[in-house]
Amino acid sequence: MTSASSVEDGSRPYPSIAGSLLYLLLNLPLGIAGFVGVTTLAAVGLTTAVVWIGVPVLALLVLGSRAAAQFERARAHALLGTYVVSPYRPLPGTGWRLRWRTRVLDGATWRDMGYFVLLLPLGLAEFVPLVVTWAAGLGLTALPIYFRYLPNAAFITFDGTHHVVIDSTVDALPWAALGLAVLALAIAMTRALGVAHARLVRVLLGPGPRARRIAEEPIGAVA
């Protein structure tokens, strides 16, 4: 009997800013690798399965997806402080056919593949606003320090033709204040995206709805 505490620890994800930022920035390269790996192995395996060449390729897809999902659960725990229990059905002790049948029919295996297909567009959607807001916030906040080292002062361009010249500390201070506001936005966005992705990992890489439903039932209610 699976207990509720083993399916989910009951805590709400509240990752650190640094952990969230590192986790979210890594999502894009990992999403590219995951998307390419899943789609390539699936395409090659399915198109060549008729001549049996694709069978080991599809086996590699199943094992690789489960191993990558285990890594992703560990990454979420390390950087987002979110524990995600392994959702897989126990494998039979003997019989390789039964073991492979259990892997293939396990819904968690298919959710693993779906997660890595989704990680590419999600990683891109997270990466772009994070890089823009953090770069703009840090650049504007530090402007009073580094403007004097720029050739011909600093220029802030709006539409390609209109610009503001920053050639003194006093001129740079309002922009530094704006940079602090942008940094506050970047911090809030980083925390919100970290929480949202932690919840997504729990849904897609954690136990499925049936396992959660069984865990919530009183002990002895399910045979």
> Under a CB-based contact definition with an 8 Å cutoff, are residues 15 and 23 in contact?
yes
Greatest alpha-carbon pair distance for the chain in Å reads 78
In this prediction, residue 9 carries a pLDDT of 53
In this prediction, residue 91 carries a pLDDT of 92
Residue 146: other Cβ atoms inside 10 A = 11
Buried b (16+ CB within 10 A) or exposed e, 65-102: bbebbeebbebbeebbbbebbebbeeeeeeeeeeeeeb
In this prediction, residue 151 carries a pLDDT of 75
In this prediction, residue 1 carries a pLDDT of 37
Angle of CA points 143, 169, 135, to nearest 5°: 10
What is the spatial distance between Cα 101 and Cα 23, in angstroms, rounded to a whole number? 34
Residue 167, helix vs strand vs coil:
coil
Residue 155, helix vs strand vs coil:
strand
Q: Is the dihedral of CA 23, 27, 33, 34 positive or negative?
A: positive
What is the spatial distance between Cα 71 and Cα 88, in angstroms, rounded to a whole number? 14
pLDDT by residue, tens only, the chain of 223 residues: 344 334 455 567 889 999 999 999 999 999 999 999 999 999 999 999 888 899 999 999 999 999 999 999 999 999 999 999 999 999 998 889 999 999 999 999 999 999 999 999 999 999 999 999 999 999 999 999 888 887 766 666 655 666 677 778 888 899 999 999 999 999 999 999 999 999 999 999 999 766 555 445 554 544 4
In this prediction, residue 147 carries a pLDDT of 81
Distance, C-alpha 59 to centroid of its chain: 25
In this prediction, residue 90 carries a pLDDT of 92
State the distance between the two ends of the chain, measured CA to CA, in whole angstroms. 8
Per the rule left: phi > 0, alpha: psi between -120 and 50, beta: everything else, 170 is alpha
Residue 113: other Cβ atoms inside 10 A = 22
